Amino acid sequence: MSEETDRNAPPPARPPAPPSPPLPPEPARKRRARWLPSVVWLIPIVAAVVGITLLVHTITSRGPEITVTFHTAVGLTPGKTAVRYKEVDIGLVKSVRLAPDRSHVAAIIELTKDAESFAVKDTRFWVVRPRFAISGISGLETLLSGAYIGVDAGKSDEHVRDFTGLEAPPVVTSDSSGKQFVLRAADLGSLEIGSPIYYRRLPVGHVVAYQLAPNGRDITLRIFVNKPYDKLVTADTRFWHASGVDLKLDAGGLKLSTQSLVTVLLGGVAFQQPEHSPATEAAAENTQFLLAADQTEAMKEPEELAPTLAVLNFDQSVRGLAPGAPVDFRGVEVGQVRSIGIEYVRATKTFRLPVVVEFYPSRMGFRQRDVRDEQLAHAIVQGLVKRGLRAQLRTGNLLTGQLYVALDFFPKAAPATFDGNATLPELPTTPGTFDELQAQLGDIVAKIDKIPFEQIGQDLRTTMASLNRMMANADKLVNQLNGDVAPQVTAALQDARKTLNAANGTLAADAPLQQDTRRMLQELTRTAASLRALTDYLERHPEALLRGKTEKP
């Protein structure tokens, strides 16, 4: 309780504070006569001057800002992707945005001050990254350094700010030396942009572009031939597809021709002048040439006369005949097949197959004056038809069954006429040898069908039954002979053997009969000698038959 009482007791009173000292007197203010700036203000002034100088330098050193559109933004990183020309940085990608219609992307590029000349109309841009193309592998250095935008400097005087980027690097850049030429071909084959151009198996250029002609039938190719090989292209130069392998089997043997391994896999174009060509002046740039299918076709001499069309109506199957098949006259190709059709002949209620062919009159020996006069030309053809000129389908390859049209004279062919006034002159035809063989085989089969094989089989069965009965009777006869005749034959053979043994004993060298016979023969020999002597004596002395033999003195 005492402690609680102490706690509730009021605190003791504090002693009074001592008196405060007196305030010092206020200093007197004296105004300076002249104001001077402080040194501290020099720092912001210098900073402002430096900043303005850097800003002016930055503004004056900045190049133009351009926009390049690409299909995708692969390899484009804002603030990192550089723009390079000959491995020198001339700009940087600031930003990449998607087009409003989402069909492409736009890269905003800021060029350097010294790269203002690149902002012209014909400058080309593309993204450099690893690529595998016909011309080779490119952009492998970007695997470590990253993709960048390549530039092909233009030469135009028109400055622009919007460009369309290429999806692949250009095959030929603006600083390449050479000429471009135009080729017209029936189809593209295996050619692509970057396919090589060869001259005598030496690479001298590339295919830079191709497009379908407006007529939709031809392909137009643009090629670039490097300098100094562009001088080898003259007005008489021939171009042909050098793609794949050209394999030929003719009277000279098997021939294999190709330009290089690249053309075998990826295709290419080759060109060359014909031997003894008089053209020596180089062709002008953008000159057009024809692109042949192979070297043989390219090196053919130009036709002196325009080709003429004719129709051949066949009644047989044309399976194996295709457009482009040759028309042959005794081993010489004088034309080719253009088209194959089918017609219904109401008069005979049959079908016929019209084949339109293209003839080259100059290959058959005709001259300009022969073709110029239509009546003369028709008279010449009419005379040939009367002599038996006919068209015939023949097999060109037994393995593939390919057919070709052969022109030849058939003196025994049925008479025919030639109508030269028709829309397409019609040449008469004759069945092929193979069809004739088929017809003959059909006749043989029909004759074979008429043979009564069933009747012959029945007769053979009857004959075989008779032969079986005959063989059975023969077996019985043989068994009977074995039982009855065989013992008697055996006894006769034994008697004959005994007779032969006796004869052998009689005819032996030491047998008595042989000795007696030998002595008898000796006596007969002496008797013959005596008779010969008597005969000789009587011939000399015939009187001895009357008087007898006289004694000699």
Based on the domain organization, do 273 and 225 belong to the same domain?
yes
Has residue 33 been placed in a domain? no
Stretch 280-309: mean pLDDT: 83
For residue 124, the model assigns a pLDDT of 92
H/E run at residue 534: helix 512-540
**Domain contains 483:** no
Which one, of 207, 286, 189, 324, lies nearest residue 244 by Cα? 189
Which two structure tokens, joined as six digits, stand for 358?
């293209």
Are 316 and 409 part of one and the same domain?
Answer: yes
Do 325 and 428 fall within a single domain?
Answer: yes
Are both 323 and 231 inside the same structural domain? no
Instruction: Report yes or no on 499 lying in a domain.
Output: no
Name the most confidently modeled range: 240-249, 335-344, 393-402: 335-344
Average pLDDT of the segment spanning 331-338? 88
Q: Is the pLDDT of residue 141 over 50?
A: yes
Whether pLDDT at 326 is above 70? yes
Q: Give me the percent of the chain exceeding a pLDDT of 90.
A: 19
The tens digit of pLDDT for each residue in 468-519 reads: 888 888 888 777 777 766 677 777 778 778 877 777 776 666 767 677 777 8
pLDDT tens per residue across span 6-43: 555 555 555 565 666 666 666 666 555 555 556 667 77
Do 191 and 289 fall within a single domain? yes
Residue 293 lies in a domain: yes
Query: Per the domain annotation, does 51 fall within a domain?
Result: no
For residue 250, what pLDDT is reported? Answer: 43
Within a domain: 454: no
Q: Which residue range(s) make up the domain with 75?
A: 60-164
Helix (H) or strand (E) holding 488: helix 453-506
Mean per-residue pLDDT of the chain: 80
Sheet with 105-112, side-by-side order of all strands: 124-128, 148-152, 82-85, 88-98, 105-112, 62-70, 162-164
Regarding whether 234 and 277 lie in a shared domain, the answer is: yes
Are residue 289 and residue 325 in the same domain, yes or no? no
pLDDT digits (tens, 9 = 90+) for 146-188: 889 999 998 888 989 999 999 888 878 887 889 999 999 988 8
Domain boundary among 245, 274, 298: 298
In Å, how far are 139, 146, 167, 171 from 82, measured between CA atoms? 14, 9, 17, 22
Looking at residue 204, its pLDDT comes to: 93
Whether residue 364 is found in the same domain as residue 408: yes
Residue 521 lies in a domain: yes
Shared domain check, 282 and 202: yes
Q: Is 255 left (phi over 0), alpha (psi -120 to 50) or beta?
A: beta
The answer to whether the CB of 391 falls within 8 A of the CB of 329 is no
Characterize 88-99 residue by residue with b for buried, 16 or more Cβ atoms within 10 angstroms of its Cβ, and e for exposed: eebbbbeebeee
Q: Are residues 156 and 195 in the same domain?
A: no
Q: Is there a single domain that holds both residue 194 and residue 155? A: no
Cβ-based neighbour number of residue 405 at 10 Å = 26
Residues 372 and 292 in one domain: no
Confidence check: pLDDT of 420 > 70: yes
Domain end residue (candidates: 298, 332, 360)? 298
Domain-embedded: residue 66:
yes
Phi, psi (deg, nearest 5) at residue 349? 55, 45
Q: Is the pLDDT of residue 256 over 60?
A: no
Total domains, the chain: 4
Which of 432, 447, 476 terminates a domain? The answer is 432
Q: pLDDT of 191-215, one tens digit each? A: 888 888 999 888 999 898 899 888 8
